[in-house]
Amino acid sequence: MPTMKEAASEFLAKKRIAVTGVSRKPQGHGGNVVYQRLRQRGYEVFAINPFAEEVEGDRCYPDLKSVPGGVEAVVICTRPETADETMRECADLGIKQVWMHRLNGTGSVSQTATRYGREHGITVLDGGCPLMFGPTADSGHKMMCFLFTLAGKVPKKV
């Protein structure tokens, strides 16, 4: 079982990443913050929202299978109930890296999605935020990583 840091490093080594749940109303929405930061850091990032054609000035896709050329990894920033469906789609598409975003409450983490993903050979990062690690991190997110890891909101192993 890899450590969270090892799994995060492997996840962030991917260059084509989809973010589900990016909102048309970006203010205060975690998915939009993740999307923006990944884009700023040079990732080829794809917004997924079945109810939007455009977010953050970019084309938005209704689902993962609609992204031309596919993606290597997915950040789930939706309600936990939606994470189950997304995880099944990831398994169907052969996506092997999935991060379920969580800082407060349950975030996007679904235990059934975690279990399903792992049973299908997917590395599931079930908590925390990709902006807390590696090339996407800033000092504020690094501090949150430390504090939320202590509080048990960021898993130590995945």
**Does 157 reside within a domain?**
no
Number of domains in the chain: 1
Beta pairing partners, 3:
157
Q: Residue 100 CA to chain centroid, in angstroms? A: 5
3 state DSSP class of 73: strand
Please, which pLDDT band fits residue 147 given cuts at 50, 70 and 90? confident
Domain membership flag for residue 11: yes
pLDDT of residue 151: 83
What tokens does 20 get? 């589900």
CA distances from 158 to 5, 6, 9, 30, 46 (A): 9, 9, 12, 21, 24
Mean pLDDT of 43-64: 95
Residue 158 within a domain? no
Question: Is residue 83 in some structural domain?
Answer: yes
Residue 155 lies in a domain: no
Residue 156 domain flag: no
Q: Taking phi first (over 0 means left), then psi (-120 to 50 degrees means alpha), and beta for anything else, what does residue 121 get? A: left
pTM for the model? 0.93
Asked if 52 and 31 count as a contact pair (C-beta separation under 8 A), the reply is no
The answer to whether position 55 is within a domain reads: yes
As a whole number of Å, the end-to-end CA separation of the chain is: 6
Instruction: Judge whether 79 lies within some domain.
Output: yes
CATH number of the domain where residue 75 is located? 3.40.50.720
What residue numbers bound the domain in which 89 lies? 4-150
| pLDDT, tens digit, 9 for 90 and up, residues 35-53 | 999 999 999 999 999 999 9
Please tell me the predicted confidence (pLDDT) of residue 145: 87
Please give the full DSSP string across 43-86, using - where no structure is assigned.
-EEEEE-TT-SEETTEEEESSGGGSTT--SEEEE-S-HHHHHHH
Tens of pLDDT, residues 78-117: 999 999 999 999 999 999 999 999 866 678 899 999 999 9
Q: Report CA 119 to chain centroid distance, whole Å.
A: 19
What pLDDT is recorded for position 135?
84
The predicted structure's pLDDT at residue 28:
62
140 vs 70: which has the higher pLDDT: 70
Alpha helices by DSSP H, 14-100: 30-40, 80-93
